[in-house]
Chain A
């Protein structure tokens, strides 16, 4: 089965600073990649996804992620974070056996 590694368990950052949350996956076949966000005491929400086409995908709230096949990575970035971005972020991968696997999560804390 494929696996997902999120390299940082916690990322503290000051408001308006840039941030990168790292995600690597292990699979040699076609994959479909996702980032989910979980705000405190809420359920999981899809942030963005890569299915095919352009390797750079964007969310409506300023996050972007780039699919890099050679490095098997799908890192999430935002050029300027807000306090409201404080949440836990999960990277996930699917391929053609129908299952979906998640990383251990990265807790992003934005400080004023």
Chain B
């Protein structure tokens, strides 16, 4: 089975902190994604990556950056956390082609 692992289930951070959310997949997938999930808004794409060191902005990249130094790991960085970034963050990966995405369990981030 494909496994997508997010490093934390719950995080509490202070406003202004730099926050790292880590995601690792074990199936050698090329594509990896970061979404945030908010009630009534569904999943909104923050960034995605289709190869090592490659990244593309999604719909809501402001306030975020990403890093993909190795194929299996995709990190989401909040440069200076703000309360409006309190949310559930979901990582996903897909193999080449147009198959479904496989999701991690999510990280619930609270910024206080």
Contacts and interface: CB of A to CB of B under 8 A. Distances in A.
Interface of A: 1, 6, 9, 32, 34, 43-44, 46, 49, 51, 90, 92, 94-96, 98-105
A102 B42 contact: yes
Nearest to A94: B98
Contact of A1 (B31, B59, B92, B105): B59
B94 interface: yes
Interface of B: 31, 33, 35, 40-45, 48, 50, 56, 58-59, 90, 92, 94, 98-101, 103-106
Contacts, number: 56
A99 B104 contact: no
Nearest to B44: A102
Contacts of A1: 59
B42 A44 contact: no
Contacts of A34: 100-101
